[in-house]
Amino acid sequence: MPQQADKSVQSRDPNTRALSPLDYALYGTSVLVWGLSWIAMHYQVGAVAPEVSVVWRFAIAAPLMFVLAAARGEPLRFPFADHLYFVGLGAGIFSTNFILFYHAAQYVASGLLSIAFSLASVGNVVLGALVLGARIERRAVAGGILGVGGVAAMFYPELGGISFNSTAMLGLLLALGGTLSFCIANMISVAAQRRRLPVFASAAWGMTYGILIVSLVVLARGETFTIDLSVTYLGGLAYLSVIGSFVAFGVYFTLLGRIGAARTGYTTVMYPVVALIVSTFAEDYRWSLLAVCGLAAVLLGNVLILRAPKR
C-alpha cells in the first residue's frame, strides 16, 4: 500500500497520467480479491438474513481498519463536517449497495446482476464529470461500453431465458440502484481524499456508519442477529471480512485516489471475468464462442481505460 513518498505520482492528474507498477498491482489485487468475493458471497445465502451477514462482515472488518489506520499514524478523531463524508461512505458503499444487490438476487439471475454492476464503469465517468468536474475521456467511455457489452456476451446463455416481467424489472431496478449507490460513494471518497482525509481512517468510520445503518434495517424488518456456525458460512464470512473488506476496500479507495474514478470503476467489469474463470475449474463452466468474444471485448476495454492518452 502506498506511502507518502509516492506523492509526486499522486500530484499529477489521476485520470490521464501513466500508471506506475504500484497502480497496476493495486488494480490487479482489487480485481482478484473482489472477483473471488462474488463466489464467497454465494456461501452466505441461507439461514442468516443478508442484512445480518453484512453486519457481521463489517463488524469484523471495521476494527481491523481502525487498527491499521492507527498503525499508519492516521488520526481517528475528526470534526463533524468530516463525519458527513464518512456517513456518505457508510450509506453508499457499506450498506445501501449491499442491501439492494442482496435483494435483487432474489428476483434476477446473477448474470444480470454482474451486467448491472459493470455499469459502474460508465457511471463513474458520468458522475465524475457532473460532480467532480472531471474531463470525460473518449477512451474511458469506449472502454466502459466495450466492457459492459463484453460482460453481457459472457452471460448471454444465462440471460436467454429471462422474461422481463414485473418481478424481473424490480430486481433489475434494485441492482441499478445498488450500482448508483456504489458510484455515488466513489465520488464521496474522491471528494474526501481531495479534502486530505486519510484513506484507512475514512474507510474505518465509513464501515462503522454502515454497520449502524444496516443494523437499523435489520431491526426495522424484524430480523434477528443470528449466525450460521457451519464451516462454509464461517469460511465465507472470514474471507469477505478480512480479504474482501479489510484488504479490498483499503486497496480500492487507495486506487481511487491514485488513478481516478473512471479507471478504478472498470474493476467492476473485471470481477465477473475472474468469477467465470474460477467457475471454469470449480463448476465446469463451458466457454462458448460468444463468451470468448465477450472476454476479448472486456480485455480491450481494459487496455483503453488504463493506458495514458496520447499527447
Distances (CA, A) of 214 to 95, 172, 282, 290, 292: 6, 21, 32, 39, 39
* Burial grade of 129 (CB within 10 A; 0-12, 13-18, 19 or more): middle
Q: Name the more confident of 167 and 32.
A: 32
Cα dihedral 91, 112, 231, 97 in deg (nearest 10): 0
DSSP 83-94: HHHHHHHHHIII
Distance CA 123, CA 115 (A): 13
- What is the reported pLDDT for 279? 76
Residue 285 has pLDDT above 90, yes or no: no
Looking at residue 89, its amino acid is L
Comparing 14-23, 58-67, 105-114, 144-153, the range with the smallest average pLDDT is 105-114
Query: Which pLDDT band, with edges at 50, 70 and 90, does 28 fall under?
Result: very high
Distances (CA, A) of 78 to 31, 74, 139, 230, 249: 31, 11, 38, 39, 20
Q: 43: closest CA among 57, 63, 31? A: 57
Average pLDDT of 167-180? Answer: 87
Taking only the tens place, the pLDDT of each residue in 177-236 is: 999 999 999 999 999 999 999 999 999 999 999 999 999 999 999 999 999 998 888 998
Q: 89: closest CA among 217, 245, 227, 235? A: 245
Average pLDDT of 18-41? Answer: 86
Beta carbons of 147 and 271 less than 8 angstroms apart: no
Q: What pTM, to 2 d.p., does this model score?
A: 0.85
- What is the reported pLDDT for 304? 84
Distances (CA, A) of 244 to 40, 250, 251: 9, 10, 10
Comparing 77-91, 99-113, 157-171, the range with the smallest average pLDDT is 157-171
Residue 307 has pLDDT above 90, yes or no: no
Q: Name the more confident of 235 and 278.
A: 235
| Sequence spans of domains, the chain | 31-306
Instruction: Find how far residue 215's CA is from the centre of its chain.
Output: 21
Query: Which pLDDT band, with edges at 50, 70 and 90, does 162 fall under?
Result: low
- What is the reported pLDDT for 272? 83
Joined grid coordinates for residue 299 = 480485455
Residue 10 has pLDDT above 50, yes or no: no
CB atoms within 10 A of CB 13: 10
Residue 5 has pLDDT above 50, yes or no: no
Q: Name the more confident of 202 and 140.
A: 202
